[in-house]
Amino acid sequence: MTIELLPFPNVLGFLALFCYILTLLPTNLRIVIPASKKTKIPKRLLQNRRLIGLISFLLALLHGWLLIRKQNFDYLDPKTYWVYFQGVASFIVFTILAITSNDWSVKRLKKNWRKLHSLTYFTMFMVTWHIWAKMAEHWSSFTLIGLSSMGFVILLYLKRRYLEYKANQVKTKQQTTPRKSLSQTSV
Ligand code: HEM
Q: pTM of the predicted model, to two decimals?
A: 0.89
Q: How far is the CA of 180 from the centre of ligand 1 (A)?
A: 60
Q: If you measure from the C-alpha of residue 185 to the centroid of ligand 1, how many angstroms do you get, rounded to a whole number?
A: 64
What's the CA-to-centroid distance between 98 and ligand 1, angstroms? 18
User: Which of 178, 155, 159, 156 lies closest to 167, judged by CA?
Assistant: 159
Among the listed residues 56, 28, 17, the one whose alpha carbon sits nearest the alpha carbon of residue 146: 17
Q: What is the mean pLDDT for each group of 10 consecutive residues in the chain (187 residues)?
A: 78 98 96 94 96 98 92 79 89 97 96 96 97 93 96 98 95 78 45
Kindly list the distances between the CA atom of residue 159 and the CA atoms of 69, 127, 154, 156, 166, in Å, as whole numbers in the listed order: 39, 20, 9, 5, 11
* Residues within a 6 A CB radius of ligand 1: 6, 10, 13-14, 16-17, 20, 60, 63-64, 67-68, 84, 87-88, 90-91, 94, 127, 130-131, 134-135, 140, 142-143, 146
CA distances from 172 to 2, 162, 165 (A): 52, 15, 11
Q: Candidates 131, 140, 153: which one to mutate for ligand 1, based on the most atoms within 8 Å of Cβ? A: 131
Per-residue pLDDT tens for 172-184? 988 887 655 544 4
Cα(135)–Cα(143) distance, integer angstroms: 7
CA distance 42 to 136: 33
Closest residue CA from atom 4 of ligand 1: 64
Residues 6+ apart with CB under 8 A from 161: none
Q: How confident is the model over 131-163, as pLDDT tens digits?
A: 999 999 899 999 999 999 999 999 999 999 999
Radius of gyration of the chain from Cα atoms? 21
What pLDDT, on the 0 to 100 scale, is given for residue 130? 97
Atom of ligand 1 nearest to the CA of 143: 40
